[in-house]
Amino acid sequence: MFEPRSHKPEEAPAPKRRRWSLGLSAKLLALTVAVVATAEIAVLVPTIANYRIAWLSDRLAAARTAALVLDAAPQDGVTVDMTRELLDSVGAKVIVVKREGTRRLLAASDMPPEADVHIDMRETTLWGAVHDAFDTLVADNGRILRIVGEPPRGADFIEIVLSETPLRVALLRFAATVLLISLAVAVVAGVLVYVSLNWLFVRPMRRLTERMSAFREDPEDASRIIVPSGRSDEIGTAEEALEELQRELSHTLHQKSHLAALGLAVSKINHDLRNLLSSAQLLSDRLASVPDPTVQRFAPKLLAALDRAIHYCEQTLSYGRAKEPLPERRDVELAHLFEEVRETLGLSPGGSAGVGWVADVERGLTADADPDQLFRVILNITRNALQALEARAPLDPERDQIRVRARRKGPVVEIELSDTGPGIPAARREHLFEAFVSSARRGGTGLGLPIADELVRAHGGHIRLLDTKIGTAFRITIPDQPESRHHRRERIRA
């Protein structure tokens, strides 16, 4: 027994919260700012260090010039005022020259201060200069520096003592100027880089995203399929691949919709059609009692056709299900089966209907198959051949023919069905056994070959299109069941 269904309304699933995240443009902007800032720092730091080295080198050069003047002047020829002017021009408080192991004080202020930091310009390195430059920027005013550098000719070295405050002021001013110029250059470069990358990459990626989102909302709307921009780079390749994917998906959905609509329509008419055929079957049963020889000849065939039609109506939706019913296999005489197919198609042995029928079957040849399913396979393929031939009327039985041939090769029966028609276009060969695709006739459903292929595979066989110069030819292989092979070998041995 079935449990009663609850009428409690189902709770709607909670909407997914969209996690906030930076968009591609924002990430690109942040990346641009980070790269430009890193580049500016890489340029600004050594520039400030070089400016400090140049400033100190200028003071040492001025000290060397002053040393030459003081050294060349007489002992009492240099007045206090001249010494002060020389020291002011150098910006130093003490100038000392060492020559031959003796340190000589050339000039000094009234009270020479004690040095707080000792710097040897002859041993300056890049990282040391960078460290000293930042040390100067963050230091307090009033520190005293002792600078040692290359001496005048004939001396060992020259040293000067000076205040760090002028250096720090000049260094701060220079750093501010360079920073402003760097920021201006960085802003211009960043804007150009951002605009360029946004135009080259972000906008196409945003377009791809928007087209994918629009297609997801209604995949069957062909207007939502992306139109490639024609670019020759990777983004252009992605656009072309997305277009192909969307077209294939839209085509597949159209096929599914067509199949669903076909199944709905067939299910609506199936009941009434089956009742009509049952009524026709009752009338045919009455015809069987009529003593007329012609009626007695055709009444059994009419009854068999009606029985088969009713059976087909009961299985009209079998293609839409997972698979056809399993075949009920037994020995089927192929010559008799081919004759039934010929009569169903309305063809005469002599070709009086305009299409010739040529059968080449081994005498007594049987196939281990379901007779109704094998009949459907042969009928679907030969009906397609007949329709292809009738499309080029007027017909000539000598030219327009349907040929059936069957041979046994060990445990396998091979059936070849061919015609002398126009053949199958190359464009349809790749999708020959796909539903709703292979039909070349206006009004056809395109289900004949897919159904035939499914039925043959249910028997463990296969069907394939042969390469022929004229018309179309199919080869069907039906292998015997293992137990049927054993019984057949026993009969042959007996």
pLDDT 10s digits, 111-127: 667 778 888 888 878 78
pLDDT 10s digits, 157-216: 788 888 888 888 888 898 888 888 888 887 887 788 778 878 888 788 888 888 888 888
Nearest to 175 by CA among 43, 19, 348: 43
**DSSP assigned state of 18:** P
Inform me whether the pLDDT recorded for 3 exceeds 50: no
Cβ neighbours of residue 88 closer than 8 Å, sequence gap 6 or more = none
Inform me whether the pLDDT recorded for 385 exceeds 80: yes
User: In the chain, pLDDT over 70 holds for what percent of residues?
Assistant: 73
Structure tokens at 471: 């018309």
Inform me whether the pLDDT recorded for 285 exceeds 90: no
CB 480: neighbour CB atoms within 10 A? 23
Inform me whether the pLDDT recorded for 1 exceeds 60: no
- Domains of the chain in sequence order: 24-189 (no CATH), 221-317 (no CATH), 321-493 (3.30.565.10)
Inform me whether the pLDDT recorded for 335 exceeds 90: yes
Task: Output the DSSP codes for 196-261.
Answer: HHIIIIIHHHHHHHHHHHHHHH-TT-GGGS-------SHHHHHHHHHHHHHHHHHHHHHHHHHHHH
pLDDT class of 95 with cuts at 50, 70, 90: confident
Residue 322 or 109, more confident? 109
Average pLDDT for residues 104-112, to the nearest whole number? Answer: 63
3-state secondary structure of 189: helix
Inform me whether the pLDDT recorded for 2 exceeds 50: no
Residue 412 or 26, more confident? 412
3-state secondary structure of 416: strand
* Model pTM score: 0.44
Rounded Cα gap, residues 425 and 433, in angstroms: 14
Average pLDDT for residues 248-255, to the nearest whole number? Answer: 82
Residue-level pLDDT at 403: 93
Residue 288 or 46, more confident? 46
Q: Work out the angle between the directed axes of helices 371-390 and 448-458 (0-180°, nearest 10).
A: 150
Q: What is the mean pLDDT of the chain?
A: 77
Longest CA span, the chain: 165
